């Protein structure tokens, strides 16, 4: 039983490293809340993320199959970013984590001040 747990930890290490990159979860969460955004709208929602960091995170998430990039033909062309089904599943987990934090915020913040 312990061996299976160790194997699972090793297999998911790559995932944790990817998701732990700065801004990654903020991008996923904001796309989940907004149900899709353009580049500038997403950047404004997140706040202090640089354009190059946002491009990097969007590219990585698209490569992982978590988001999809949709080009809407117009003048000028518009690009929308949306979560895939896999991304929606991740967003639900992040939303549960956010709810858990809000339910425990007072005690968690107290423990951080010790």
pLDDT at 10: 74
pLDDT at 108: 80
The candidate with the shortest Cα–Cα distance to 19, out of 61, 62, 78, 51, is 61
Q: Does residue 25 sit in helix, strand or coil?
A: helix
Q: Which two tokens stand for residue 60?
A: 């990585």
Point out the residues of the chain with pLDDT beneath 50: 1-2
Q: Which long-range contacts (CB under 8 A, 24 or more apart) does 39-46 make?
A: 39/79, 39/81, 42/81
CATH of 22-113, one of 3.30.9.10, 3.40.1000.10, 1.20.1440.230, 1.10.10.10: 1.10.10.10
Domain range list for the chain: 22-113
User: What mean pLDDT, rounded, does the chain reach?
Assistant: 88
Q: Does residue 40 sit in helix, strand or coil?
A: helix
pLDDT at 89: 96
* Predicted model pTM: 0.82
Q: Does residue 21 sit in helix, strand or coil?
A: coil
Half-sphere exposure of residue 21, counting CA atoms within 13 Å on the CB side?
Answer: 17
- Give the start-end residues of each E strand in 18-85: 37-38, 67-72, 78-83
């Amino acid at each position: 039983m312990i061996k299976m747990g160790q194997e699972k930890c090793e297999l998911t290490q790559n995932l944790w490293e990817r998701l732990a990159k700065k801004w990654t979860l903020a991008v996923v969460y904001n796309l989940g809340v907004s149900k899709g955004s353009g580049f500038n709208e997403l950047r404004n929602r997140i706040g202090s993320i640089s354009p190059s960091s946002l491009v990097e995170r969007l590219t990585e998430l698209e490569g992982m199959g978590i988001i999809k990039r949709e080009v809407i033909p117009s003048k000028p062309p518009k690009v929308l970013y949306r979560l895939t089904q896999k991304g929606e599943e991740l967003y639900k987990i992040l939303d549960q984590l956010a709810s858990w934090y809000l339910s425990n915020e007072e005690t968690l913040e107290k423990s951080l001040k010790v």
